[in-house]
Amino acid sequence: MNVNSNASIIEVQDLTRVFGNFTAVDRISFEVRRGEIFGFLGANGAGKTTAIRMLTGLLIPTSGRAEVAGFDVFTHPESIKKNIGYMSQKFSLFNDLTVFENLRFYGGIYGLSTRDIRHKTDELLERLDLAGVRDRLIRDLPLGWKQKLAFSTAVIHEPAIVFLDEPTGGVDPITRRQFWDLMYETADRGTTVFVTTHYMDEAEYCDRVSIMVDGRIDALGTPAGLRKTYGAKNVDEVFVKLARGGSV
Amino acid sequence: MKAFWGFIKKEFLHIFRDRRTLLILFGMPLAQLLLFGYAVRNELNRADIAILDHSRDEVTREITGKLLSSGHFQLSAWLESEAEIEEVFQRGIARNVVVFESDFGRKLIREGRADVLIVTDASDPNMAQILEGYTANIIREYQQEWQMRNRMAMSGVGGMTSGAGGLAASGIIPEMRMLFNPELRSANLFVPGLIAFILMLVSAFLTSIAIAREKEMGTMEVLLVSPLDPRQIIAGKVLPYLVLSIVNVFTVLVVALVVFQVPFRGSVILFSLLSLLFIMTALALGLRISNAVRDQQTAMMMSLAGLLLPTILLSGFIFPISNMPVILQYLSHIVPAKWYLIIIRGIMLKGVGLEVLWMEALILLGMMSLLFVVSIKSFKIRLE
């Protein structure tokens, strides 16, 4: 179970999920190293969400093998849940609660003590330069701030891995840039970041990316490596080539 | 456990910060109670009545006096001819006119029968029926008294006739009885129904919306990925509404007892236990609905059409089940509020206990268990 656990935090081997006679995820294999930012790319319907749901313990795989933070997705989904953070593509904070109430709630369900929650909240708001909005309702904040808060909430318990499902959808370029800075900081503190995105320019910021087409992982490597392999100017071109290749 | 209390706390924050929920939770039950109590009354209180007396003898004077002293009617006009009746209705002077034929008293004594006509303004058919019923009943009472007094002279007087309102021509008028079903009058009728309705509203309607909102906003996904057990999530969503439902029942009950003097003859403990059973049934229904939908709007529509309307229409709250078409009577069996209504009417009004109500209690228990199993199962399926 702990083979290579120093190096890799997610290990996936031939992971498959079948719904009826539709294979949403088709024998994907990859590993994610501790502390890296791993970009999980793919068009809509390529199977990204299904894969994430299996890795976060929400969905039981049909076959294959996967370990997340050292725990098997088949046998210990509950232990996985304790060791990961998650931010969905929909907004994950409660609009009618204040910033602090949101942090207290999420800190609480991840088992943080009241004192820890207070301490971390202060530290976090200081870092985000949002100390003034501690007791403001989320609904009154600008989208960019909310997004940053949602991310900080997802990592308030310092999980081994944080899963981000299209975290930057609908956010302006400057905020997106700031958001990536936050992700880098988080990765530097040792939390592995597993992120899906639509924006191919963002793929360039990742340490490594995988590209999913029709339920399979067709390419995996560093952005530079992929560009070289496929003779492309950027990851976007790689993606287009793969997607075309898949559909022809 | 600490995480769970945090969840409950958050749930209460949602409730207390949402003005609409608060209004439904605390405004609506009281508003309903007062509305039903004061506005929607089936009993008559000093309704305007007009008299057209062609006879003006002792008997018609006595009958008129009895009508006016009953407290149900007050005299608004003496009429001189039939032609005036329509005008009285049109101008809203009265909704009920009693017409005595000429020689009323003498005919009654000589022939054993005399005609009295009760004309009601049927533009409000319900009201017309009620007016007619009250009037006929008072006249019938008089007839009985009169019979007693004149037993020797008149044997077998059964025949004061009334028409126009559809009254039968002789004797005791049986179809009037329904209107005077004591259970169909006053607060005794609507308070138990209202309790059932409010419990459905708070337990099922609000719960289903609260869960659907969490799905719609996307926060449910985050909760499911968290270490919280799905059962804790369900319990955390449901528990606050359970508490508020109980608070609501007792508020309504106390107001009903104090303001409307509704009797409470049975056991409070039994009432509370069986109410809890009904609350759980309603919560399970709300849960089942929230599992089936993705957004608040749909949850609202489904609980409105699927839960609240049957609770009002098919439970016997307002319309007696025995008067419904057979198909609806069968349909009413699957409405939990129907059984709950029988139970709390039994406890409150008749003072009976489980020795009478055991079957209804068992039916509710069965419904509750079945619904809970189904909703928890469907919650799990959605996780897959």
Task: ipTM value, please give it.
Answer: 0.85
Tell me which of B142, B162, B182 is where a domain ends: B182
Among residues of chain B, what percentage have pLDDT more than 70? 86
Q: Are residues B108 and B173 in the same domain?
A: yes
Q: What is the sign, positive or negative, of the torsion defined by CA atoms of A140, A144, A150, A153? A: negative
pLDDT of residue B42: 58
pLDDT of residue A191: 94
Looking at the domain assignment, is residue A1 inside a domain? no
Task: Find the domain containing B200 and state its range.
Answer: 2-40+185-383
Q: Are residues B216 and B354 in the same domain?
A: yes
The arithmetic mean of pLDDT across residues A189-205, rounded, is: 88
pLDDT exceeds cutoff 80 at B183: no
Q: Are residues B165 and B206 in the same domain?
A: no
Task: For residue A160, report the phi and psi dihedrals to the nearest 5 degrees.
Answer: -70, -35
| Residue A97 in contact with partner chain B when CB distance is under 8 A | yes
How many beta-carbon contacts under 8 Å exist across A and B?
Answer: 74
| Rounded Cα distance, B289 and B284, in Å | 9
Q: Are residues B197 and B314 in the same domain?
A: yes
DSSP B115: B
Which residue in chain A has the smallest CA separation from B236?
A109
Cα B325 to Cα A76, B111, B336, distances in angstroms: 56, 42, 19
Under a CB-based contact definition with an 8 Å cutoff, are residues B344 and B191 in contact? no
| Residue B13 in contact with partner chain A when CB distance is under 8 A | yes
- B-interface mutation test, from A79, A87, A109, most B Cβ less than 10 A away: A109
| Rounded Cα distance, B69 and B61, in Å | 12
Q: Are residues B286 and B251 in the same domain?
A: yes
Q: Are residues B197 and B334 in the same domain?
A: yes
Looking at the domain assignment, is residue A174 inside a domain? yes
* Residue whose tokens read 């469907």: B378
pLDDT of residue A98: 94
pLDDT of residue B383: 53
Task: Find the domain containing A23 and state its range.
Answer: 8-247
Residues A10-30: b if buried by 16+ CB within 10 A, e if exposed: bbbeebbbeeeeebbbbebbb
> Which of A82, A94, A97 shows the shortest C-beta gap to B227?
A82
| CATH number of residue A174's parent domain | 3.40.50.300
Please tell me the total count of domains within chain B. Answer: 2
DSSP B101: P
Tell me which of B116, B151, B182 is where a domain ends: B182
Q: How confident is the model at residue A31 (pLDDT cuts 50, 70, 90)?
A: very high
In degrees, rounded to 5, the angle at the alpha carbon of residue B337 between the alpha carbons of residues B333 and B341 is 100
pLDDT of residue B158: 43
pLDDT of residue B255: 87
Q: How confident is the model at residue B151 (pLDDT cuts 50, 70, 90)?
A: low
Pairing state of beta strands A192-197 and A37-42?
parallel
Under a CB-based contact definition with an 8 Å cutoff, are residues B100 and B63 in contact? yes
> Which of A57, A92, A97 shows the shortest C-beta gap to B222?
A92
The arithmetic mean of pLDDT across residues A165-175, rounded, is: 82
| Rounded Cα distance, A83 and B68, in Å | 81
> Which of A56, A81, A101 shows the shortest C-beta gap to B13?
A101
pLDDT tens profile B255-268? 888 888 888 889 99
| Residue A78 in contact with partner chain B when CB distance is under 8 A | yes
Residues in chain A: 248
> Which of B17, B218, B384 shows the shortest C-beta gap to A91?
B218
Residues whose CB is less than 8 angstroms from the CB of residue B51 and which lie 6 or more positions away in sequence, other chains included: B64, B67, B75, B77, B78, B79, B97, B98, B100
C-beta neighbour count of B9 within 10 angstroms: 15
| Residue A140 in contact with partner chain B when CB distance is under 8 A | no
Cα B75 to Cα A154, B65, B123, B125, distances in angstroms: 75, 10, 20, 21
Tell me which of B152, B182, B212 is where a domain ends: B182
Which residue in chain A has the smallest CA separation from B15?
A96
| Rounded Cα distance, A226 and A238, in Å | 7
| Rounded Cα distance, B341 and B247, in Å | 19
- The C-alpha of A228 sits at a distance from chain B's nearest C-alpha, in angstroms, of 37
Residues whose CB is less than 8 angstroms from the CB of residue A241 and which lie 6 or more positions away in sequence, other chains included: A230, A232
pLDDT of residue B186: 54
Maximum distance among all alpha carbons in chain A? 58
> Which of B13, B14, B226 shows the shortest C-beta gap to A109?
B226
Please tell me the total count of domains within chain A. Answer: 1
* Residue whose tokens read 């294959």: A64
Q: Are residues B168 and B55 in the same domain?
A: yes
Under a CB-based contact definition with an 8 Å cutoff, are residues A82 and A106 in contact? no
| Rounded Cα distance, B314 and A28, in Å | 55
Q: Are residues B79 and B192 in the same domain?
A: no
Q: Are residues B196 and B129 in the same domain?
A: no
| CATH number of residue B70's parent domain | 3.40.1710
Give chain A positions within 8 Å (CB) of B7.
105, 108-109
Pairing state of beta strands A63-68 and A8-19?
antiparallel
| Rounded Cα distance, B186 and B144, in Å | 26
pLDDT of residue B166: 35
| Rounded Cα distance, A35 and A9, in Å | 9
Residues A60, B384: C-beta atoms closer than 8 Å:
yes
Looking at the domain assignment, is residue A150 inside a domain? yes
Residues B3, A92: C-beta atoms closer than 8 Å:
no
Q: Is the pTM of this model over 0.80?
A: no
| Residue B223 in contact with partner chain A when CB distance is under 8 A | yes
Residues A153-168: b if buried by 16+ CB within 10 A, e if exposed: bbbbbebbbbbbbbbb
Q: Are residues B28 and B133 in the same domain?
A: no
pLDDT tens profile B211-241? 999 888 888 888 888 888 888 888 999 999 9
Nearest residue to A73 (alpha-carbon basis) of A85, A86, A60, A82? A60
DSSP B161: B
- B-interface mutation test, from A50, A68, A89, A96, most B Cβ less than 10 A away: A96
- The C-alpha of B288 sits at a distance from chain A's nearest C-alpha, in angstroms, of 20
pLDDT exceeds cutoff 60 at A35: yes
pLDDT exceeds cutoff 90 at B34: no
Under a CB-based contact definition with an 8 Å cutoff, are residues B114 and B104 in contact? yes
Looking at the domain assignment, is residue A19 inside a domain? yes
> Which of A58, A91, A108 shows the shortest C-beta gap to B225?
A58
Q: How confident is the model at residue B148 (pLDDT cuts 50, 70, 90)?
A: confident
